[in-house]
Amino acid sequence: MWQAPPEAARYPSEWLPPLDLPAPGPQNRLTVLLRLLLLIPQFIVTWVLSVVAFVVAVIGWFGALVLGRLPGFAADYLTAYLPYETRVSSYLLLTHDRYPPFAFRTPDYPVRVELRPGGLNRLAVLFRLILAIPAAVVQGLLFAGWWVVGWISWLVVLILGRMPQPLFEATAAVLRYRMRYMAYLLMLTPAYPKQLFGDEPGSEPGGPVSASRPLVLSGAGRGLLVAFLLLGLLSGATGSITTNVDSDDDEVKQVTGPPLPGPPAG
């Protein structure tokens, strides 16, 4: 007697989008030296794609409020845009040496993002921007901290011809957290970004899939990640103080500056 096949298992609500990165290996020192210059065309393309993504996300937000999920066209575009942006960011942050292709579909490229857009909580969609603020602050501090010492990282990779393992681990954690934040912000996942400090060994069913899946951080990698956070916080505080001092100086100059020559005011 024929029986209906069992219903496909649902993905757990706390499933987090994974990021696959290749293991750190030899890099061409010339491409490391000219990394920012080589990426100029990608920056232009990514900016254009991000403008479109913003418009699609706004329309998708209204659609998700009504449907409880992203409309098909929005899910299709955003699930193509986010991996593209992540591939460019991973190359920019020196994790590997393979130039990102100008294409959405890249089955042979070693940097991969897995996204499973589906059902969304309408209330969480309504307050998405507010809910995302803490994660936005964390990912902002991480990237700011990485860039504070970015020239040191660049110099290390340039001299060694490869990224040291602890630096790779910390950089991969930064990239993965940003990707998960963007996936949440763009409503591609209901799961809030988490597990900044990596996964437990053996947490990936069936064994490791890539160098960052599962992402297991060593003590040195965790230390660098904490340093990124502290440096990002220090950078933001320093920038705020400098802005306030400059603003105060401008006000003092306006009050105490010598009067301009001319007829007295009547």
Burial 229-253 (b: 16+ CB within 10 A, else e): bebbeeeeeeeeeeeeeeeeeeeee
Q: What is the reported pLDDT for 205?
A: 81
pTM of the model: 0.85
SS3 234: helix
Res 265: pLDDT: 43
Residue indicated by tokens 């990936």: 204
CB count in 10 Å sphere of residue 179: 25
Q: How many other β-carbons are positioned within 10 Å of the β-carbon of residue 216?
A: 17
Q: How far does the chain reach from its first CA to its final CA, in angstroms?
A: 105
H-assigned helices in 72-121:
72-92
What pLDDT does residue 239 have?
Answer: 67
Phi, psi values for residue 112, rounded to 5°: -135, 145
**Nearest Cα to 24, choosing from 161, 173, 148?**
161
Sign of the CA dihedral running 74, 75, 76, 79: positive
Closest CA to 103 of 87, 122, 117, 91: 87
> How far is 24 from 18, CA to CA, in rounded Å?
18
Residue-level pLDDT at 259 = 42
**Which residues of the chain have a pLDDT value below 70?**
1-13, 239-266
Alpha-carbon distance 242 to 148, whole Å?
Answer: 16
Q: Are 94 and 171 in contact (CB under 8 A)?
A: yes
Q: How far is CA 172 from CA 142, 155, 215, in A?
A: 11, 18, 8
- φ, ψ at 20 (rounded to 5°): -100, 125
Nearest Cα residue to 120 out of 167, 193, 184, 169: 184
Residue 20 pairs in a beta bridge with 112
pLDDT for 238: 77
